[in-house]
Structure 1
């Protein structure tokens, strides 16, 4: 059987799939025609038919002489500008066609007898440029951002000290498209009933649930194994990943064995890659102070000891940040205004209809508290809206309790369209007083932006950092203590700092201080404290700190608690591109990566540089010890293979467990 000419270059450009030019198969989007050409030997013929196959499903359509195909059905028509020596046919897919790998046959007949046949293959994706497609997104800059951009920023840290992390989505890198299609094919839904799965792949709601489940490996042959134990032996530390391509390729090349290891931002970023490959607009979203409400009562309980040590005594938790994705789609399965962004969370936290996946939950439904809707709206609603009950425990008895209704979900954000910066989308999820309504500390006192329970005639305390902590600098903070009564008080003061992971209760104490404070009637005192770099540098790394103060009235034994969780940021790597305004496709250019040691002791490490469309794979260098305050530079050469806006990123894994990162957006022009 002969092969048709797939006119690949023309079709890729028309379908905005030229990023997949490395694929051995033509890649097109549904709801739009693509042109194929037959050899001249196909003529003459009376009739021409096209048989289009997806697995064992097929449809046969006649090739009409004019382009009047019904848009809701498969169709084909002759190219009116084609030549007799090379006749061309446009194949039209409906905007609701299923995503997947197709084959087709061109059948030419003379007097109902088969005279000629030729075959071809194509991959069909969703089409956010097509108004009839349920993933249509109406703005070109958003289509460029949420489909075509192959890099992004992930936001981490704390709500008061947000850190951006570069991530290479890699959707146009070799073998990534094939891995994403394999993900659909090895899913339990496909393995159980191939025909049913192919039929359902027309619906982005169905596709997104399959992908959400397949990114983790808890119920299937999914991509990533989660690990929050702290022991990453036998795999890669979640913080070491810099892009999705390595993960997806490793998974596919291993015969679909899970890649070790992932955490929430890795799960979300890999899912974002898969959804963009499949043509569904997608973005990565961070929810700060994200609640995990295990019993569904919209209340998170936290407990502290009488000396300020945070205790792990409940299954509920608040993650300093949690990362999921949003996908854009029409919700024809739901009533009311639920179209637009939908929350999907591939991190295996809780089962949805028996499977570890989450969503798609309409963002509009979360804001309106429509918790009766599928899928998983109540769970996501709690993540951004739960109340927090914080108690001090002494000898097994609660001696103090406060309630905070605003601590959870103070900032929800994503990358801005077209710019490497944060975009606050909190107002899409909840009604807020201001775009950045958030507490600067958690305490027994009341501020304008909080609804903490309080009694103004009692003692209160507020703990506040002087400024966001930076590696190598002294951490300075104050505890403001207010005596609300007209009698003098003697207070025991307990200060406690614990290292903690973003998703967990703190570990052991690494710094503490205890003392006694005299308060006159209605007196306000400010305690100034500091933690030196040599105390925290060797324990914090990429982790966070839970800092708490418990004050005890010596006479009445009443306690008040003030606390704050914070991250210590490291200055970014500085990347410079030589003659950056003239970076040209397929021309080598020089770049440098610079690092200054902010720590109080010498550090060494391994520098890794990568960039989709700029470098092939990763380039690694060993950085020799730098004295405190010392700096070093590394020169590299880049060779752009794709035009457009690309991200060059670098990460330096240091010997003291910290990781330093940096990125540079590079505009690559055609010659």
Structure 2
């Protein structure tokens, strides 16, 4: 180094301007965060103008590597090189850096060198660092998405809606993705740094971080904690000891922060929508357009035969064998990217499923799998296409196992799996149906072709007897409210020309959303006579005191009816899932909301149950508003009693924000409420008088 006084007085990364142009200002105002393939500028303050023939060089180091880094070229190179231009007056120089559109994402350390004409380093400043993210606004980036309204939703929106319930009674909960909340970006990179691949070979892992296929696959493996240092532990039934019940989470941020704070120790507990919510937050934060998908009647086909087999004993009780299952709904995410690793026609939305179900290349991860490959039945395409195809296309077959061990097939559903595949609309909190992106219309010629291509046996209707089935069975119900007594109607229709005598068994049981049985609530058997061309109706009365004991936190009753007419038909079965609706939780934030000024939220609801509620707790959070906060209710809440709580907080970011509230107690769980809060900057006049 020369012994002259320092030439470089300061390096200004111009975070404020750059972050605004790179759409990262929501993440941070102080630190420089930029997107790849898009230029950004920094300023050098010099003590004097550079002597003749002296010049500035830039060097980048990636991550924790201190080896000789990437030299930034001074002329525009090929697209795969970093390069910069400079313009300057006396004591100031503006440098514009250009990153390639396939640069590695992560933290870079910038070295600024002043070089003498003979190539000696006269001065070096290298304590400056910045983060680089994927850039879906850049047409050369493989995550490029040309539609601005979709970018606003799938990258920039921190408030989500997750659809749940059953295919015929769809409800939703709000979810706070919070991808731009404080330190969330740092935690996202921490998640990548803790993956098995990164811990095994960090050099190789860093090089692969230019590829969203690799990065998204790592994230689906790391959101669940099966077999690695992942974020969330799954648990599908109570008790949720030493952790938080999955339905109590209202967003991803407390989960990510808790994982990071505990030194990459898994947070308890998650179920599919929680895994998907966290994955969506991480992917959006890193700049990969992502949306959360709900598939209703989702099949989990373990043996890969595109058929989900349910075995029942003669009492209609499920024989729980480790194996196939069907979930009322299942959530995953789709991320948008070009698939240069696959043949043409596989670009666009890719299924990624972070819920640990089956191993994929030895890891609990799933995807990215092109949605188009599922629709066309191209199951050789990586990753995990056969598994995803079955989730939306498998047949469901019910068997009764007789006492002598014989199996009798009593019901085949070919069109019931993969119904109403849903995501939040770009235009608001309502539902977009994307089923036709996953499959051709049920029963169409094209659908049959896809099944055959996928190796699925196409079962034509069997024509064993020319005479149609004489008896038909159906279950009808209203939309009952949790806490009330209600009726379920089982109807037997006789299409035949003579009276029919049959045995009818009706069974109501509590189930979780993924079909785990929580106990029998009611059972009724009746001998029925149905006159020719008539309908016979039986009523099954369900009392709160019967179902309240065993109902799960998903508030779901499954009713099965089995009709056996000796010598007439094969036994027939009907199944209905009845979701019990929740009371309304009212959330109000009166008055105007200003940045950094206190506002008060009021929350209330009325206990609809005929029993008191104990251990009541409200959980409140909202991106840009406040962190995860709990308010405990003192004492019991009597039947019919209205409970009200209030909470004051100061918004930390402007814009349209959502305040999410969850209420939980011993007998009533998962009651949700939401309020929209518009946060403005306070206008301050130049001359302020007395307040």
Q: Same fold (TM over 0.5)?
A: yes
Does residue 431 (structure 1) correspond to residue 434 (structure 2)? The answer is no
SS at match of 1:4: strand
Structure 1 window deviating more from structure 2 (624-633 vs 95-104): it is 624-633
Which of residues 596, 603, 609 in structure 2 aligns to 1:586? 596
Cα 1:359/1:561, change in 2 over 3 Å: same
Asked whether the 8 Å contact 1:158–1:565 carries over to 2, the reply is yes
Asked whether the 8 Å contact 2:520–2:550 carries over to 1, the reply is no
Which of residues 245, 257, 264 in structure 2 aligns to 1:237? 245
Asked whether the 8 Å contact 2:254–2:627 carries over to 1, the reply is no
Does residue 211 (structure 1) correspond to residue 222 (structure 2)? The answer is no
- 2:396 and 2:257 mapped to 1: Cα distance? 41
Structure 1: segments with no counterpart, 5+ residues: 435-449
* Distance apart, 1:291 and its partner CA: 0.5
Q: Deviations over 1:365-412 (max 9, x none)?
A: 111111111111111000000011112333233344221111111111
Structure 2 counterparts to residues 464-475 of structure 1, below 5 A: 464-475=475-486
Structure 2 counterparts to residues 63-462 of structure 1, below 5 A: 63=74, 70-78=78-86, 80=87, 82-111=88-117, 112-119=119-126, 120-313=128-321, 315-395=323-403, 396-432=405-441, 457-462=468-473
Which of residues 578, 583, 596 in structure 2 aligns to 1:571? 583
- 2:523 and 2:49 mapped to 1: Cα distance? 88
Asked whether the 8 Å contact 1:610–1:619 carries over to 2, the reply is no
Partner of 1:625: 636
- 2:42 and 2:427 mapped to 1: Cα distance? 35
Structure 2 counterparts to residues 506-521 of structure 1, below 5 A: 506-521=517-532
Report the number of matched residues: 649
Structure 2 counterparts to residues 459-498 of structure 1, below 5 A: 459-498=470-509
Structure 1 window deviating more from structure 2 (631-640 vs 355-364): it is 631-640
Asked whether the 8 Å contact 2:212–2:288 carries over to 1, the reply is yes
Which of residues 642, 661, 668 in structure 1 aligns to 2:653? 642
| TM-score, with structure 2 as normaliser | 0.89
- 1:532 and 1:413 mapped to 2: Cα distance? 33
- 2:587 and 2:167 mapped to 1: Cα distance? 27
SS at match of 1:337: coil
- 1:473 and 1:556 mapped to 2: Cα distance? 38
Structure 2: segments with no counterpart, 5+ residues: 1-7, 444-458, 683-691
Cα 1:665/1:42, change in 2 over 3 Å: farther
Asked whether the 8 Å contact 1:173–1:612 carries over to 2, the reply is yes
- Structure 1 stretches of 4+ with a deviation exceeding 4 A read 68-71, 450-456, 554-558
Asked whether the 8 Å contact 1:586–1:639 carries over to 2, the reply is yes
| TM-score, with structure 1 as normaliser | 0.92
Asked whether the 8 Å contact 1:406–1:451 carries over to 2, the reply is no
SS at match of 2:605: strand
Partner of 2:534: 523
Q: Deviations over 1:209-268 (max 9, x none)?
A: 111111112222111122224332232222222221111111112121211221111111
Asked whether the 8 Å contact 1:461–1:479 carries over to 2, the reply is no
Partner of 1:10: 17
Asked whether the 8 Å contact 1:102–1:121 carries over to 2, the reply is yes
Asked whether the 8 Å contact 2:81–2:100 carries over to 1, the reply is yes
Structure 2 counterparts to residues 529-608 of structure 1, below 5 A: 529-543=540-554, 544-554=556-566, 558-579=570-591, 582-604=592-614, 605-608=616-619
SS at match of 1:626: coil
- 2:471 and 2:636 mapped to 1: Cα distance? 47
SS at match of 2:141: coil
* Distance apart, 1:426 and its partner CA: 0.9
Q: Deviations over 1:91-125 (max 9, x none)?
A: 11111001111111011123233222222101110
Cα 1:629/1:484, change in 2 over 3 Å: same
- 1:271 and 1:347 mapped to 2: Cα distance? 10
